[in-house]
Amino acid sequence: PDGSGQRRFDELIAADQRIEPSDWMPAAYRKTLVRQISQHAHSEIIGMQPEGNWITRAPSLKRKSILMAKVQDEAGHGLYLYSAAQTLGTDRDTMFEQLITGTAKYSSIFNYTTPTWADMGSIGWLVDGAAICNQVPLCRASYGPYGRAMVRICKEESFHQRQGFEILLELMRGTPAQQQMAQESVNRWYAPALMMFGPPDADSPNSQQSMAWNIKRFSNDELRQRFVDMLVPQAEILGVTLPDPDLKWNEERGHYDFGELDWAEFAEVLAGRGPANAIRVARRRAAHEDGEWVRAAARAYADKQAELASA
């Protein structure tokens, strides 16, 4: 009430220091963090599905064990992030409820389907590549539990990105049919991966405030540019073509120029009308309902322990 909380918060932000759960923070800062961290957690959990789809069909035992480990990492990231969001006073049941009723947002990218094995390569190379580009700066996010969670997550994402690149590399060194499968997959995932960074800066309502609070360190467009610049030389090594006729080096800017993305498609996906939104949410809800017996057993056990303790 005397404004000292706000003053202390402003000082910490100005000095680029961390805000911890027990510190005073503006309600809007708390709210935007819950929004971003819970959306991020949901993305990791829903993100298990497109790849989970290939675990039983991975082409070798080695590929299967790598894919299982990767999907398991994503579950871990999700739980880690739910914990970070909980430190802000939002409980996990509420977040789960929002996810399974389709009211929570999660990354647009996981609403695309994975019809071929090469999609496991594209997800690793492009989707996890974009995730790293976006998330490395989040390791310095002003909210302590979020920034610290990001450090470990980014390390694991680097491994995910490399395994995807390696799947594509192997396909590109294979038969013409395998090369074609890799290229076809890259054609489908390239633009949606660029959209992961969010709307253009002019249409990003949250960016300015999030940057002022040191949650975001770069704008959506800055990170998208960084990602494109990083992809071009990697695509050359792979021997795949990035599906954008407007992609070309701009000597003056020192960056690659690239074509306009289909923001109408992005809006459709965010509105729940992407290729797989309905399947993803239904699957998550079914998994939650199937797990009811575990929660019931845990409650019964806790009740029994409490009864014993009071006896």
When asked if residue 128 is in the footprint of ligand 3HC (CB under 6 A), the reply is yes
CB of 265 to ligand 3HC, least distance (A): 12
When asked if residue 196 is in the footprint of ligand 3HC (CB under 6 A), the reply is yes
When asked if residue 183 is in the footprint of ligand 3HC (CB under 6 A), the reply is no
The one among 44, 50, 104, 169 contacting ligand 3HC by CB under 6 A: 44
When asked if residue 210 is in the footprint of ligand 3HC (CB under 6 A), the reply is yes
Q: How far apart are CA 2 and CA 4, in angstroms?
A: 6
Q: Which two tokens stand for residue 17?
A: 């220091």
CB of 158 to ligand 3HC, least distance (A): 11
The one among 18, 40, 63, 284 contacting ligand 3HC by CB under 6 A: 40
Which is closer to ligand 3HC, CB of 145 or CB of 198?
198
Q: How far apart are CA 286 and CA 272, in angstroms?
A: 18
Q: How many CB atoms lie within 10 A of CB 47?
A: 24
- Binding-site residue total for ligand 3HC (CB under 6 A)? 29
When asked if residue 124 is in the footprint of ligand 3HC (CB under 6 A), the reply is no
Strands 248-250, 255-257: parallel, antiparallel or unpaired by DSSP? antiparallel
Q: How far apart are CA 141 and CA 128, in angstroms?
A: 19
Return the DSSP state at 3.
S
- According to DSSP H, which parts of the chain are helical? 4-14, 27-46, 48-52, 61-86, 92-100, 118-122, 129-135, 144-172, 176-195, 207-212, 220-238, 263-268, 277-290, 292-310
The one among 12, 13, 47, 99 contacting ligand 3HC by CB under 6 A: 47
The one among 86, 90, 122, 134 contacting ligand 3HC by CB under 6 A: 134
User: What's the chain's Rg over C-alpha atoms?
Assistant: 21
Query: Which residue is it, tokens 């633009």?
Result: 191
From the list 8-16, 128-136, 237-245, 288-296, the region that binds ligand 3HC by CB under 6 A is: 128-136
273-302 residues in contact with ligand 3HC (CB under 6 A) are none
CB of 234 to ligand 3HC, least distance (A): 17
Cβ proximity of 94 and 131 under 8 Å: no
The one among 147, 164, 199, 274 contacting ligand 3HC by CB under 6 A: 199
Which x/- pattern over 228-257 shows residues binding ligand 3HC (rule: CB under 6 A)? ------------------------------
In sequence order, the 6+-apart residues with CB closer than 8 A to the CB of 12 are 18, 19, 23, 142
Cβ proximity of 12 and 23 under 8 Å: yes
CB of 300 to ligand 3HC, least distance (A): 34
Which is closer to ligand 3HC, CB of 90 or CB of 207?
207
The one among 49, 220, 225, 277 contacting ligand 3HC by CB under 6 A: 220
Q: How many CB atoms lie within 10 A of CB 56?
A: 8
Q: Under the rule (CB under 6 A), what is the footprint of ligand 3HC?
A: 35-36, 39-40, 43-44, 47, 74, 105, 107-108, 128, 131, 134-135, 157, 195-199, 204-207, 210, 216, 220, 270
